[in-house]
């Protein structure tokens, strides 16, 4: 028999066991001393992850006046898994809810997650949070999370500033930055610049004892991340001018838009009736929004950017400029007027006849501009009036009509400027200047927005160019222009020299003996303007006025529309003149006029007026 020596094998087996033991010891040392991930899992019952919400960026006006700031608010959070054998009556007592509401809220939280925190009650005030905080140690699973709410020191500019609200399912699916219970800009500036205003959330891990009492940071905050505040915004809005304009428009329907011609910065964007933006903050937001939504005066509609109106006589200057550009018109061109007996378009004014161009603008003579328009379309340089209309259309749309400006203007619509195809379809190709004559005086199919009218005034002030109207001027941490398009000069098809006679005629509207706004002349400021009385098939005519000032160095261009109020000189013109005086002089001196405008109530007995 053979003898076998197994001693060497024994040593190998012992070595293997020792190696395995050493590996286990090293691994245990790593897991228990160096790596704390398993310890974290074990400690989850006493650790709480608290999301740190960043303060939203602040919003200032052009002079650094604070328009929107943050105020502390509190959410009561719940972790359903930890809510065992809780005193329901105690929770109902400190929160002010009934048992049925408690059950609904808890069920909703469980549907979201049994283990993750979700909102039980949101936006609790400082006053109420103290009572809840005193009793929380008795209620496992509930804790307080600090948030912020928007506040508005000026109760103005609700439409342009916008509001924030809780994210919906669609918004969460669109951007994984948001979680249920988060807030997002819903409208206005808050919505357009949401990405910059919202900041970046942080995370804090804290230790909690079995009585739901906070013990401190976990691992001295080693695993915490810091919330980053949102960017501050600076708007071109003049808060004092905005407030003054809203006061002038109280108890009236309409809008005011004021622009700085040299930059396109919006100085005021007013829609009336408006609303106090503080109404759409906090726990009352839903109830107040519902009330505003049901209001027959439609205060939630931004008439300055969404209202569409025929431009009326303010459009006569566009036709004059196209005629001057085409050389079918010059400053000496005269046309006769028979007043009410004029045809095919009658005149609403009694004045001298014949008139030249400057006198026609000053007197707002309808027949003069019908003849001007007719000569543009029937220019012998074109083969037909259809070709003439196409050329007219190209000139007119270079002023920005019929298109959106596509800047940060909230809820903008483009209005309507009909092209050849529209009339070919409507009249089966058989139409001419006479068929579409209403366009000569800014009526018919033409629809413009108040912001487009203010931009028309800026174009005339600038002698033929404009910058796209916009709200933002700068952002914290961004020295460069955030959107270069805002500073791109848009040049119309009209030569600068052709604007001189129109500008002089607009000055005469205030300063000439028979100017339609002569009652509102200012000795210290050369104002240029144009009245408009717009036919309204749904009720009384609309009062419209556009203006800019001073004539030689324009600093403000403005449009005012007061719905269902008659002649442009009655309401829109004095309101525009007061705003010009306010912006350029600081304090209007015409107190009697100011009082008449502020006290004027055009809504009495008006519970359901038709709107554009």
Q: Which of 133-137, 361-365, 492-496 has the highest mean pLDDT?
A: 492-496
The whole-number pLDDT of residue 5 equals: 59
CA 480 to chain centroid: 22
Confidence of residue 46 (pLDDT cuts 50, 70, 90): low
The whole-number pLDDT of residue 47 equals: 76
Confidence of residue 611 (pLDDT cuts 50, 70, 90): very low
Domain 47-235 has CATH 3.40.50.300: no
What is the DSSP secondary-structure string of 469-537? -BSEEEETTB-S-S-GGGGPPEE-SS-GGGHHHHHHHHHHHHHSTT-TTGGG--SSS--EEEEEEE--T
The whole-number pLDDT of residue 28 equals: 73
Q: Which residues pair with 534 in a beta bridge?
A: 542
Residue 11 has pLDDT above 70, yes or no: yes
The whole-number pLDDT of residue 549 equals: 97
| Greater pLDDT, 538 or 129 | 129
**Distance in angstroms (rounded) separating the CA atoms of residues 273 and 280:** 16
The conformation of residue 443, written as its DSSP 8-state character, comes to: -
Residue located via tokens 């009245």? 531
The whole-number pLDDT of residue 39 equals: 52
| Greater pLDDT, 27 or 422 | 422
Q: Which two tokens stand for residue 499?
A: 């604007």
Residue 258 has pLDDT above 60, yes or no: yes
Residue 35 has pLDDT above 50, yes or no: yes
The whole-number pLDDT of residue 450 equals: 97
* Mean pLDDT in residue range 595-601: 95
Domain 239-599 has CATH 2.20.140.10: no
Can you state the angle between helices 126-135 and 88-95, rounded to 10 degrees?
160
Domain ranges of the chain: 47-235, 239-599
* Mean pLDDT in residue range 352-366: 91
What SS3 class is residue 479? coil
Q: Which two tokens stand for residue 17?
A: 């066991």
Q: Which two tokens stand for residue 597?
A: 């405008």
The whole-number pLDDT of residue 350 equals: 84
Q: Considering the chain, what is the average pLDDT of its residues? A: 89
The whole-number pLDDT of residue 534 equals: 83
Collect all residues with Cβ–Cβ distance below 8 Å to 25 and sequence separation of at least 6: none
* Mean pLDDT in residue range 445-466: 97
Confidence of residue 558 (pLDDT cuts 50, 70, 90): very high
What is the DSSP secondary-structure string of 246-287? HHHTTT--EEEEEEETTTTEEEEEEEES---GGGGSGGGHHH
* Matching fold, domains 47-235 and 239-599: no
Confidence of residue 466 (pLDDT cuts 50, 70, 90): very high
| Greater pLDDT, 78 or 483 | 78
**Distance in angstroms (rounded) separating the CA atoms of residues 131 and 71:** 19
Environment class of 497 (CB within 10 Å of its CB; exposed 0-12, middle 13-18, buried 19+): exposed
- Residue range 496-515, pLDDT digits in tens: 999 999 999 999 999 988 88
The conformation of residue 200, written as its DSSP 8-state character, comes to: B
- Which of 2-16, 166-180, 434-448, 574-588 is predicted with the least confidence, judged by mean pLDDT? 2-16
Residue 37 has pLDDT above 80, yes or no: no
Q: How far apart are the first and last CA of the chain?
A: 116
Confidence of residue 604 (pLDDT cuts 50, 70, 90): confident
Model pTM? 0.86
């Amino acid at each position: 028999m053979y003898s076998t020596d197994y001693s060497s094998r024994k040593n190998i087996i012992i070595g293997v066991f020792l190696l395995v033991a050493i590996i286990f010891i090293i691994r245990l040392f790593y897991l228990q001393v160096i790596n704390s991930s398993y310890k974290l899992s074990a400690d989850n019952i006493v650790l709480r992850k608290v999301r740190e919400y960043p303060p939203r960026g602040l919003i200032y006006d052009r002079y650094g006046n604070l328009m929107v700031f943050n105020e502390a608010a509190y959410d009561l959070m719940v972790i359903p898994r930890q809510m065992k054998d809780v005193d329901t009556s105690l929770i109902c007592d400190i929160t002010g809810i009934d048992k049925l509401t408690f059950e609904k809220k808890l069920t909703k939280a469980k549907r979201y997650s049994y283990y993750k925190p979700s909102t039980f009650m949101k936006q609790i005030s400082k006053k109420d949070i103290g009572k809840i905080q005193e009793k929380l140690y008795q209620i496992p699973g509930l804790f307080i999370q600090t948030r912020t709410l928007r506040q508005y020191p000026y109760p103005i500019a609700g439409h342009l500033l916008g509001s924030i609200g809780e994210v919906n399912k669609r918004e969460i699916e669109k951007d994984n930055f948001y979680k249920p219970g988060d807030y997002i800009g819903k409208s206005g500036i808050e919505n357009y610049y949401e990405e910059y205003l919202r900041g970046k959330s942080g995370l804090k891990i804290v230790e909690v004892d079995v009585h739901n009492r906070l013990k401190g940071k976990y691992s001295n905050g080693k695993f915490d991340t810091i919330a980053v505040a949102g960017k501050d915004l600076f708007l071109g809005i003049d808060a004092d001018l905005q407030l003054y304009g809203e006061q002038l428009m109280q108890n009236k329907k309409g809008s005011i838009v004021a622009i700085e011609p040299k930059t396109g910065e919006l100085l005021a964007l007013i829609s009336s009736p408006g609303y106090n933006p503080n109404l759409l903050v906090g726990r009352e937001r839903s109830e107040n929004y519902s009330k505003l939504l049901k209001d027959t005066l439609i205060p939630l509609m931004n008439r300055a950017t969404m209202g569409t109106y025929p431009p009326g006589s303010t459009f006569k200057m566009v036709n004059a400029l196209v005629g001057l550009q085409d050389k079918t018109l010059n400053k000496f061109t005269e046309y006769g007027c028979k007043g009410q007996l004029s045809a095919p378009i009658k005149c609403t004014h009694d004045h001298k006849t014949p008139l030249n161009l400057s006198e026609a603008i000053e007197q707002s003579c309808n027949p003069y501009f019908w003849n001007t328009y007719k000569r543009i379309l029937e220019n012998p340089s074109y083969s037909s009036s259809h070709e003439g209309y196409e050329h007219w259309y190209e000139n007119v749309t270079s002023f920005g009509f019929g298109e959106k400006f596509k800047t940060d203007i909230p809820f903008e619509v483009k209005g309507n400027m009909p092209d050849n195809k529209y009339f070919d379809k409507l009249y089966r190709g058989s139409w001419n200047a006479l068929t579409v004559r209403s366009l000569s005086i800014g009526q018919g199919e033409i629809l413009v927005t108040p912001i487009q009218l203010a931009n028309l005034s800026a174009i005339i002030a600038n002698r033929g160019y404009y910058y796209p109207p916009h709200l933002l001027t700068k952002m914290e941490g961004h020295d460069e222009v955030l959107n270069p398009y805002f500073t791109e000069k848009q040049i119309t098809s009209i030569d600068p020299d052709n604007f001189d006679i129109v500008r002089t005629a607009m000055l005469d509207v205030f300063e000439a003996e028979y100017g339609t706004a002569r009652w509102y002349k200012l000795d210290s400021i050369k104002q240029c303007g144009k009245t408009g009385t717009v036919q309204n098939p749904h009720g009384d005519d609309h009062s419209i006025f556009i203006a800019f000032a001073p004539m030689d160095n324009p600093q403000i261009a403005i449009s005012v529309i007061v719905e269902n109020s008659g002649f442009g000189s009655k309401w829109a013109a004095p309101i525009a003149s007061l705003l010009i005086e306010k912006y350029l002089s600081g304090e209007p001196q015409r107190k009697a006029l100011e009082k008449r405008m502020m006290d004027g109530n055009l809504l009495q007995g008006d519970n359901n007026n038709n709107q554009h």
